[in-house]
Every structure is written in structure tokens, then in C-alpha cells.
Structure 1
Amino acid sequence: MWSKLESRLKQRQAQDMMRHRLTLESGQDTEVSVDGDHFLNFSSNDYLGLASHPKLIEASQKATQRYGTGSGASHLVVGHSHEHHQLEEELAEFLGVERALLFSSGFMANYGVLTSLFDRNDLLVQDKLNHASLIDGGRASDAKMLRYAHNDMSSLERQLKHKVDTKLMVADGVFSMDGDLAPLPDMLTLGGQYKAKLMVDDAHGFGVLGESGKGTLEHFGLEPSSADIYMATFGKALGSYGAFVAGNHTLIESLVQFARSYIYTTAVPPSVAAASRAGLKLLQTEPERRQQLQDNIAYFKQLANEAKLPLMPSDTAIQPVLLGSNELALKVSGGLRDKGLLVVAIRPPTVPENSARLRITLTANHTRQQIQQLVESITQLQAEN
């Protein structure tokens, strides 16, 4: 066993595909401390700058004083607190759906949905660039899983022609490595034509897109309830941790009864749920945060296009700079770190072969000066390499 694993590790090392962790010594923000050094942070999903917001910290502290540091059990034993319950009700009201259900992580939410609701007579049709949690959940499901070419509606339609009991189209709302959007209106049209349901993983759209921050569906002028199964997380725009699934009563009650990743997992601490509630309130009362983020995205794209950086097509906070080779991506990322900028290189197997990139993420808290410094540094390093 160990020799086989050593061989796999050496192969990954030779391909410049080894992953390494950073150890932060500060809170999550546009400026962070890593191993004693100071960096401008362009790698965080803290899109609205709420992870270190005083109101989230205060809510978490108050809940900790009342409930302690841990929930102590799963939701179905004695781990479901008032904070959890209120968060579920507030999410359902915000999205205009019947119910919402908390999960301890986005991975567990997606895995729970896909492994508990479908059987061998059903079909899951997934975008090839879906998040790993969706792919892994589909593989573990009793249902048959097919994949369609990224955002290719002709490819999706071919897969939907199979005759089965239930068909479920599954897509990220915002694709986490490319930053582009799933064509949800077109998918809903196909769903109506072929009697297929829709599941949207809106981890990177919820709180960021749409007039009121309800996500990718609202961005397209659709109600969140247009998706039969809607999943999103708290660890991005809301600055907290955990995830939820939203939909009708039958969906949520089925998950409560059958989703093993919900039933057999300790609930997140009540203090985390309280922080998520505070984030959800700020999302609704401070829309200027979303506008500032959009302004920052537009400014970055303007500067990057003027500098002729190889941007991938994205209008979201995820702005990938496509460099191709693993070696070049690592060199530029390392050069940026030497200049005090934290921009992580993303390589296979997270992305397809020969598509290594800098995955730049912008937040509402970035300043124009910081964005200018980023573009100038990438331009210089690209020219040198």
C-alpha cells in the first residue's frame, strides 16, 4: 500500500501538481498574514467582505455565551438549536420557498441530495465542470449519471432523451474555476420539454448575483423556486460556514428522513448559525456591498483587458487568468507572492489538462489601488516568463 502511494505522490510531484496548504495568522480579509508575512489577498471567496465583519463576530460571541462552543449532537438528536431553526426559516422567507434545511458543508449537502433521493430508475445529467461534490454524489447515487459538455445545451438535450422515471439536470450556478454562469433559462426550457427537474448549486452565486442577492436564478430574472432543488453555502458571500438546501416541503422532509450526510452528522455550532443569520441580514440591508463588488469586477476586467492578460470569459467575482502550463502558473503565482500578493495557481486535476490558471477572486473590500497593483504585477511577471 505505502509503496503504491509513494509512487503516486512522486508522479504528482513530477507533474507540478502537488497541493500545499497556507497557514494564516490573521482573519480573512483583503490583507492577511501568512507564516509571518503580509499579503494582499486575491484568493478568498469572502465576496462581500463579511468574514471579519463586527456584526457577525458579535452574533457569534453572543451565541457562544448562550449555547457553548459545540452543538453536541446531530440535528435529529439534540443538536438543533433555536439559531439553526431561525436560520432555516429566514432563508426560506428570503428565497420565497416552502422550506430550507441546513447541512454542515456544501459537499455534504450535494452528496446528501444525490445519494438519498434517486434510485436505479432515475437519471442524473450533470455539466462536465460541476463541482467535485456534485460529481462524487452522482457517482455514489443509485441513479444512472451522464455528463454533458460544459454549458452545451445540444449535448444536454441528447442526454435528456433517455426514457427513465425521473430526470434531474444538475449544474453549478456559477462555475467555481471558470467563473461563468450556467444558462439556467435554457435549461428550464429543456426541462419543460423533456420533463426534467433542475438542481442548482449556487455556492458562488448566492448573496452576490441578482438584484437582491438571491443568486444566479434571480440574475436571470427567475424566482429561486424555479429550481426544484436549490443549494448554496454560507462560506462565500455570507462570511460564515455551512450550507443549505431549499425547496418544497416534500423535498426537505425527504432529506430529513433519508439523507445520511444530514442524519449522521453533528450540527454546526449554534454560534456559526448565528453568524450566518447576521450575514443574511447584512445581505438584505447593505446592497451597496454587492454594487461595490460589481464595480471592482468591472475595474479589474478593464485593466486586465488593457494589459492584454489572457482572461477567461467571466463577469463574476471569479476571474481566471489562463496560463496553460502548470510550470508557468506556479512561477507567476510564486512571483506574485514575492511581491506580496496572494493568488493561488489552480492546476489539474482540479481543472482540465493544459488549463492551469491563476484563480483571482475579487471582493467588495478590495480598493482600486490594490487591483491596479495586482494587474501591473501579473503583467510584469508574464512578460518575464
Structure 2
Amino acid sequence: MLEADHLPGRTLLATDGREYLYCSGTSYLGMARNPAFAALLAEGLSRYGSNYGNSRNGPLRLRIYAEAERYLAAYTGAAAALTVSSGYLAGQMAVKALARAGRFEYAPGTHPAAWLTEHAPLPTAPRPFDDWAAHLLRRLQHETPEPVVIVSNSLDPLRAQRYDFAWTQHLPTNRPITLLIDDSHGFGVIGPGGAGIFRELRVPPSVRVVVVSSLGKACGIPGGVVLSEARFIDELRQSAFFGASSPVVPAYLHAFVQAEELYGQARAQLAANVQQFAAATADTELFQGAPGFPVFYTPRNELADFMLQRGVLLSSFAYPTAADPCITRVVLSALHTAEDVARVAELCMEFTAQTHL
């Protein structure tokens, strides 16, 4: 493990003096180290200060919250949006509000932010998402009708797989069903204009859709959002979770709503990087990836040490706990140049050539 005293961008200068090309983390659009975004944030800080230590149910209403939530609703296609101080809080606030909405059904790999209890009853045997979804749909269609809350990630960010939700069109309509999707790794990157999965979901009119997401990954905002129908969002506004929690720092929301052009430029650069790397490494058969997603998973954990010795830091560690298997991935960002991408791809091909000897 390397140590640093600053946040990396496209490169990392470790405290031992060595510089590494940084291919890890979740700052897919690179906003955390984007100078133009930092300038917008500085504008926000000058107007709103460094923090807002208050409940949003207090006597003061800062207009930026309503402005950002209208923007998020229009951007994603949701009827309404609600921002909170983290993606984890967004998930917990939503599932706690749904605690009595029905039996919970969890997809494989569902993030703990969307667990109703500390140890959610996830599928015990490893099962591909499509198999789980087909099995769930068969059960729902043949069991005695009862309310159900279906909980899933929008994609697998560890093994870089997009999930197909076409099956949700066939959910039964003879009971209340809520579909809760955690889109934390997709929001800002996948979907039209990077607006995430909300517009892509097709469900019967009787099925309620709730999408929760961190804004701290692709968007570079320390906060989270819940997207859903207006009635559910109003219910969340009245909850103790919302009233007793600190809101997103308003300076960041100011930067967010002003940064549409910056996000678009970053998405274009990221898309070019992803396409370049996927094409350059296709023959190595090293990686599993999803179209347009900037994460490339490999089961060859030894690739991480090979790259580190050559000045490239990959994402490679046991997740989510030290007792879990190591997950090794190349993570690209919009900060990487075409030369950076070519270098990483060439080293991957060199690794493949050496290990196949």
C-alpha cells in the first residue's frame, strides 16, 4: 500500500518520492482534480461558506437545494429528487422508509447502503444476475401475491458488468411492488448524457421505482440523491433521517448545477479513453468490461504488482473486508490522456506476453 499526502489526479506522487500513473478510485470524470470545476466550487464557497450546519427543516431555506433537486429530476427523468449528505444516507433513508412496504428481495452483490438490516439475506450461492432475475420473476408470477421490495445495484462495479433490467417490464401487477436501484457507480457515466439508469427502466405503471445514488463518484460531489415519484420524495422529506441529518454542503451543489458543460467534456474524454483501452487490450483476454464503463476487471491479481513495478497503480485489494477475495481492476478517468491509456495497454500486453511464455 502506498502513502501520499495529497489527492491523486491522473498521477500520484507517493511520500517515497516515486510518481505513479493512477488507475484506481472512483473519480471517473476526474472532477476532484479538475481546475475549472475547482473554480466553480470556489464561487460556491464565497457565496455559501464551507459548510451549512443546519437541518433543512429549519427556518432558513437556501434556494440552491431546490434548484439542484429540480435540475436532478429534469436531468434523470424522475418526477422528483431529494439530496442528502452521502450516497450511503440516501440508500438507508430510502430502505428505512420502505421497511413496511413488503418482503425484501436482494440481488447478488447489492451494496450495503441499500440493506434494510446489517446483514441482508443475500443469495447464499454465487449466481449470475440474469439467473437471479429470471428465478425471482418466476417465483413472483407463481406465488401467493404479497407486497415486495426488489433491491439491486444498477451494475457490478467490481467485475465491470452492466445489468439488464428488461425483465422488470414483466413484473406482476397484482400486488404493490417497489424496485429500488443503487446507481452510485453508473450515475454520471451511463445512460443518455450520463443521467444514469432512471430513464432506462421500463416497468408496469403499478410498480414504484426508487433510484438512489452517490454523487461523490463520477460527479465529484460529497452527497447523495434519491429519485422517485413525488409522493415518496415528500414522505422522505418528513422523515427523521432527513430532518435530523446535515445536508450537502451548498457550495458543491452550486458547482454541480453550473458544471453541465464540464461534465459533458469529461464524459467525451472518458468515452474515448474507454474505447481506446478496450480496443488495444481486446486480444489479451485479460479483462472483463462493460461498454462505456471505465472499469476493467481481471482475475489475474498478479497484474497489479507487475504494473506497480513499472509505475502504474491499479485498484487491487480485498473488498469489502480484508477477509474477502482480492479484486483487481484498471480504472480509467477523464484525466487520463491518450498517451496514458496507450502506456497502460502496452504494459498489459507485455504482461500477457511474459506470462504466456
TM-score by length of 2: 0.84
Q: CA shift at 1:229, angstroms?
A: 0.5
- The answer for the alignment partner of 1:314 in structure 2 is 290
Distance 1:105 1:82, change over 3 A: same
Distance 1:372 1:160, change over 3 A: same
Q: CA shift at 1:114, angstroms?
A: 0.7
Q: Distance in 1 between matches of 2:347 and 2:208?
A: 41
Distance 1:88 1:23, change over 3 A: farther
73, 85, 106: which one pairs with 1:126?
106
Q: Does 1:173 align with 2:154?
A: yes
Q: Distance in 2 between matches of 1:341 and 1:332?
A: 10
| Deviating more after overlay: 83-92 vs 362-371 | 362-371
Q: Distance in 1 between matches of 2:173 and 2:259?
A: 35
Q: Which amino acid is the alignment partner of residue 318 of structure 2?
A: R
Q: Does the aligned pair in 1 maintain the 2:280–2:345 contact within 8 Å?
A: yes
Q: CA shift at 1:365, angstroms?
A: 3.0
Q: Identity rate of aligned residues, in percent?
A: 21
Q: Distance in 2 between matches of 1:139 and 1:301?
A: 39
Alignment of 1:161-310 (within 5 A): 162-163=143-144, 165-190=146-171, 192=173, 196-218=177-199, 220=200, 228-258=209-239, 260=241, 262-280=242-260, 282-283=262-263, 286=264, 288-309=265-286
Alignment of 1:46-65 (within 5 A): 46-65=27-46
Distance 1:237 1:353, change over 3 A: closer
Quote the RMSD (CA, aligned, Å). Answer: 3.1
Unaligned runs of 5+ in 2: none
The CA deviation string for residues 184-215 of structure 1, in whole angstroms up to 9 with x for no partner, is 12223235587532112111222212232222
- The answer for the alignment partner of 2:116 in structure 1 is 138
The CA deviation string for residues 247-293 of structure 1, in whole angstroms up to 9 with x for no partner, is 11111111122252x3322223221222222344533xx3x533332
Q: Does the aligned pair in 1 maintain the 2:99–2:116 contact within 8 Å?
A: no
Unaligned runs of 5+ in 1: 1-19, 324-328
The CA deviation string for residues 7-64 of structure 1, in whole angstroms up to 9 with x for no partner, is xxxxxxxxxxxxx6x5544444212323243221111322223222233212221222
Q: Which amino acid is the alignment partner of residue 374 of structure 1?
A: V
Question: Partner of 2:116: helix, strand, or coil?
Answer: helix
Q: Does the aligned pair in 2 maintain the 1:123–1:145 contact within 8 Å?
A: no
- The answer for the alignment partner of 1:366 in structure 2 is 336
- The answer for the alignment partner of 1:3 in structure 2 is none
The CA deviation string for residues 335-373 of structure 1, in whole angstroms up to 9 with x for no partner, is 42232211121325569966x331221223322321222
Q: Distance in 2 between matches of 1:275 and 1:70?
A: 14
Question: Partner of 2:211: helix, strand, or coil?
Answer: strand
Q: Does 1:346 align with 2:298?
A: no
Q: Which amino acid is the alignment partner of residue 254 of structure 1?
A: E
Q: Which amino acid is the alignment partner of residue 267 of structure 1?
A: P
Distance 1:352 1:23, change over 3 A: closer
Q: Distance in 2 between matches of 1:158 and 1:147?
A: 16
Distance 1:85 1:112, change over 3 A: same
The CA deviation string for residues 216-270 of structure 1, in whole angstroms up to 9 with x for no partner, is 344x4869x997101222212212221100111111111122252x332222322
Distance 1:289 1:64, change over 3 A: closer
Q: Does 1:337 align with 2:308?
A: yes
Q: CA shift at 1:78, angstroms?
A: 5.8
Between Structure 1 and Structure 2, how many residues are aligned? 346
Q: Which amino acid is the alignment partner of residue 29 of structure 1?
A: G
| Deviating more after overlay: 56-65 vs 27-36 | 27-36
Q: Does the aligned pair in 1 maintain the 2:54–2:247 contact within 8 Å?
A: yes
Q: CA shift at 1:107, angstroms?
A: 1.0
The CA deviation string for residues 313-343 of structure 1, in whole angstroms up to 9 with x for no partner, is 42221211112xxxxx2x5423422322111
